[in-house]
Structure 1
């Protein structure tokens, strides 16, 4: 190990992680390595080993869902059969796009077009209604762009031309594998890029989308019809939902108010070619190995990863991606102990109590707002480890095995259609607040504002986040801060707009809201416009996560201080440890543009600066880079 010359008061993140940063190697098939990815790699190795044994029968099947996964994995991993089938199934399916002759022709078949998974310049999906969170509503949203964000399309963006060139080269090679002649392929790709760019002026950037309450824009069926009369959208919704919806929630009204400018008789062929390109890319993981590797070029350029993932990993990702909660359930029941679940559950309850005490003693909330905040906290749902049951959708996935004449493509298409029908059939049904949206083998955690629940999958409950063998203070600096971070999301700039039922509802007094917005502005300014990578940070984009980090770390500190063996150094150092990361340059630039989280180094360094206990422990002075004057230290919760 090299000698660490950085002190805690110069750069705390470097002080804690110096040796790791020098020695860690980014895997060739990954854009970054960090504490989350390190744990994910370990779990991945473990499950890849077990999945092979499931496939060979060495591990016995104990559910019909796991049997369906086994049959599906056997189809996925049969590369020889996939190579022998080749691209013929894709060519057959592309005929449906090529056979479109007009907007009216497309509109007549649009309900089935959507259920069949064909590309469309907009998406229709069912999710909980933001203002009636116990009931499923229907949402209308724009499609995604080729480049990661609208900001990438500006002429001054340094990566725009390079990424579009990689995209074009990749698509031409894919079309060559399909058998298209060069001239036709060139026309398709040029039209695809041209149509894509016509959508950009009417779409939100990642920063604009970060305020997700603004995605709630209810419209009537007549409003939707007027967006583009030729598309007959009112009939599309009626057919998909088996009834006419009274309200459709439009996430980006500006986009749909300009839909007639984007989809015209003159642009119809461009749109068809855009559909062909999108559809070809959607098949990239289920055809031949040559096709998969060719189709990964753009993502490699975008992320900076040096090489394709191996075939073995690809098989694993593809199969577990379709059955993620089935495999998550398997992982949790085989590798997650009850003692850890109980210990973490206790930590969660302790954090909630600390939050309640803080809200009770809060000096800037009036009594009515304080009462509503405490009510919201008291109704917070807590999910630790794994769900009581996996969602019903997995019982519908019955794989037709190779022995019974099934192919991978046929099964994937069947599952995708079943999934779309399943979710459309949920419209106006009651929401199951206990249903997880993350599998138990995922190294992450989340707060759901419309369910008002916090979820901590089994996979994150490991070192450095949590370990029986590390001190209680270290655990508070890891999983404790993560727990309180998720609780804090209930009261960040987004979560604070939802009440105890998960409804979008302003429960604040005007004075309290004004004060909270002023504190939010302080957090935006603290994280804004800091040089990082090849760009600068965006405090507005990351503010909700930064508010949650601040609340999470300060509450974890207070909980640790109640312990007999409280050790502040162990808490702060583990906080910095969980955020260590090495990333490719391209990936750093990508995250700066679209990630609602601040760069990990800044998460580690800036948040500790806000805490008096950090400055007392390390005796910072005005000459130290880690020093922050007391009047500039931000405390929201």
Structure 2
């Protein structure tokens, strides 16, 4: 791995702007790659991993020397198909036409209903997606969820008449789809008819969906219905038949993520709207399948998303093939990456940091002054039960061993077979025992997560490197980086969402009413601290970002305490590395998009606002009320 350059800190600026003091020199030099929307922090690590793995896989293709890693040989075959641009250009749009024609040939709702299972298993889009996941109130068993489809625009709020981005984005989308239809060999009149129908259907869905802020309160997505009651949502489709065909049985109950959407089901999907629904499916399928075809179709299909993100150009063919192939074999690639690039010493060191952070959290809970003894004890029980995964899973998910490439068939034909295998496996889990060993992220992804249903924190190998973590960094710098990330994920067990799950991962209120009310007041204070803060892209929505801010606050505070317990600790290095990991340069378009849909606060604020709640920050840098980083003690928030 390439060592990242560490830029000097402008010590004179720290009192007024920690983020700029640490990242200002880097920001002047940083250049966003033309095919990306951001650079710095997480993105730079991801870019480096991309370069390393592309080089490794190219060498395997050239030499034929493939390490004995489970599933890797099949991945290389699939990657080879993705890289065969001559064959893809020769075939053109031909491979995708039968998939599109199948939608065009649908006669009516009854015909659609009868084909729904096979359409679903082939990966076709649907306006009423069903999903199998652990039951939030009984996480030992998989249950069935009725979800909602994504919209064309990023969020429900974009459909409001006064949204300034709506018209321009929809115009870009229409032009992109019209070009795709042309490249696929369809007439302009046919294309315009399908686009108009798709947009009408999409617009009909938006009023009945939640916006991003409402979805951030994800506990409210748990709405259990008897299956008999659920089937009453549609007057024109036999939902009982649809579901029983999908999972092989008729369930007694189903979880509905957004009841208001399903209450409008008959209005949305009926014989009169079916033509528009077909157009909506056709347009979405055309966009999705274009990445398996020619260079021109792939690049065209990304125009809208590049407009959303602000990326200046499409990825080149080689890079696009890499992402297409690795997304299909993500856990295979992750294990290969972890075994080659992640050492046993680092895994042991990070695991010890996790245990230390849990111990700090436990001590804090034991000494907490605002929780009652009953709630405090339950919080400690939950913490003691918290699972820890570091680096990579012990073994590959056996699903990936079923992906066997037929090199005589096209890239798309192989993908279709894999999709069928994966979806059959997915729906077969219904009403079976939950597998808690499955990782939700591959080891080469630069990220980390807390799973409330499993009460487990997971740190893939990719994030366990500089600037987050390095054996070459001081312990204080490591605690300011990966230590704060670790404690952040622990804190998610006690944020406004995670705190509603017990030690088994079940949605279960273990709080006294008084404690819960106090906690909700603290959460509201965190909302207020961020609400309306001005950024280059606009004001912050405090409610949207509250759960991540609670986790940031708890994580930074606990990591600070852990850092101070080490010999020769250096709090300047701690706070500076905290700011360094959030260093990022992004397109304005991406910043605006994230302000509307992302549950994380902008990076500049994550770096600057949270430290202002900590007394040690003020003493470390001698900050007083005349400095820009000063926050009145009465306004400083302490939750965990």
**TM superposition score normalised by structure 1:** 0.98
Q: Secondary structure at the match of 1:470?
A: coil
8 Å CA contact 1:240, 1:424 repeated in 2: yes
Shift of 1:533: 2.7
Q: 1:260 aligns with which of 257, 266, 271?
A: 266
User: Are residue 590 (structure 1) and residue 593 (structure 2) matched?
Assistant: yes
Partner of 2:317: 311
User: Are residue 562 (structure 1) and residue 565 (structure 2) matched?
Assistant: yes
Between stretches 93-102 and 343-352, larger displacement belongs to 93-102
Query: Over aligned residue pairs, what C-alpha RMSD do you find?
Result: 1.3
8 Å CA contact 1:26, 1:583 repeated in 2: yes
Partner of 1:165: 171
In structure 2, how many angstroms separate the alpha carbons of the residues matched to 1:334 and 1:146?
40
Shift of 1:596: 0.4
8 Å CA contact 1:303, 1:586 repeated in 2: yes
8 Å CA contact 1:75, 1:407 repeated in 2: yes
For residues 450-461 of structure 1, what are the structure 2 equivalents within 5 Å? Answer: 450-461=453-464
User: Are residue 615 (structure 1) and residue 618 (structure 2) matched?
Assistant: yes
User: Are residue 578 (structure 1) and residue 581 (structure 2) matched?
Assistant: yes
Deviations 1:106-139 (A, max 9, x none): 1122122211222211211111110011211111
Q: Structure 2: which 5+ runs fail to align?
A: 1-6
Deviations 1:515-542 (A, max 9, x none): 0000000000001111223321011111
User: Are residue 486 (structure 1) and residue 489 (structure 2) matched?
Assistant: yes
Partner of 2:287: 281
In structure 1, how many angstroms separate the alpha carbons of the residues matched to 2:504 and 2:80?
43
Shift of 1:422: 0.3
For residues 203-602 of structure 1, what are the structure 2 equivalents within 5 Å? Answer: 203-401=209-407, 405-602=408-605
Deviations 1:432-459 (A, max 9, x none): 2221111111111110000111011111
In structure 1, how many angstroms separate the alpha carbons of the residues matched to 2:616 and 2:64?
54
In structure 2, how many angstroms separate the alpha carbons of the residues matched to 1:3 and 1:100?
63
In structure 2, how many angstroms separate the alpha carbons of the residues matched to 1:486 and 1:140?
28
Shift of 1:4: 5.0
Partner of 1:113: 119
Q: Structure 1: which 5+ runs fail to align?
A: none
Q: 1:44 aligns with which of 26, 50, 54?
A: 50
Shift of 1:386: 0.7
Q: Secondary structure at the match of 1:610?
A: coil
Q: 1:142 aligns with which of 136, 148, 152?
A: 148
Q: Secondary structure at the match of 1:135?
A: strand
8 Å CA contact 1:621, 1:627 repeated in 2: yes
Shift of 1:160: 1.0
Q: Secondary structure at the match of 2:232?
A: helix
8 Å CA contact 2:224, 2:253 repeated in 1: yes
User: Are residue 153 (structure 1) and residue 159 (structure 2) matched?
Assistant: yes
| CA shift in 2, pair 1:63/1:471, >3 Å | closer
Q: 1:25 aligns with which of 18, 26, 31?
A: 31
Shift of 1:55: 2.2
Partner of 1:626: 629
Deviations 1:368-412 (A, max 9, x none): 1111100100011100111101212111111111xxx22111111
Q: Secondary structure at the match of 1:20?
A: helix
| CA shift in 2, pair 1:600/1:292, >3 Å | same
Partner of 2:130: 124
8 Å CA contact 1:466, 1:478 repeated in 2: yes
In structure 2, how many angstroms separate the alpha carbons of the residues matched to 1:12 and 1:2?
13
8 Å CA contact 2:70, 2:332 repeated in 1: no
8 Å CA contact 1:35, 1:581 repeated in 2: yes
In structure 1, how many angstroms separate the alpha carbons of the residues matched to 2:95 and 2:410?
10
Q: Secondary structure at the match of 2:600?
A: coil
Shift of 1:5: 8.7
8 Å CA contact 1:133, 1:502 repeated in 2: yes
Deviations 1:51-97 (A, max 9, x none): 11222344324145112111111111111111111112222222211
Between stretches 310-319 and 87-96, larger displacement belongs to 87-96
Deviations 1:222-274 (A, max 9, x none): 12211113211111111211111111111001001101111122211111111
Partner of 1:9: 15
Q: 2:86 aligns with which of 72, 80, 83?
A: 80
**TM superposition score normalised by structure 2:** 0.97
In structure 2, how many angstroms separate the alpha carbons of the residues matched to 1:139 and 1:390?
26
8 Å CA contact 2:236, 2:266 repeated in 1: no
Deviations 1:600-623 (A, max 9, x none): 000000000000000111222222
In structure 2, how many angstroms separate the alpha carbons of the residues matched to 1:605 and 1:220?
48
Shift of 1:205: 0.4
Shift of 1:624: 1.6
Between stretches 450-459 and 239-248, larger displacement belongs to 239-248
Aligned residues: 634
8 Å CA contact 2:213, 2:543 repeated in 1: yes
In structure 1, how many angstroms separate the alpha carbons of the residues matched to 2:67 and 2:38?
35
8 Å CA contact 2:372, 2:515 repeated in 1: yes
Q: Secondary structure at the match of 2:545?
A: helix
Deviations 1:254-311 (A, max 9, x none): 0011011111222111111111101101102101111001111101100000110111
| CA shift in 2, pair 1:253/1:6, >3 Å | farther
8 Å CA contact 2:236, 2:271 repeated in 1: no
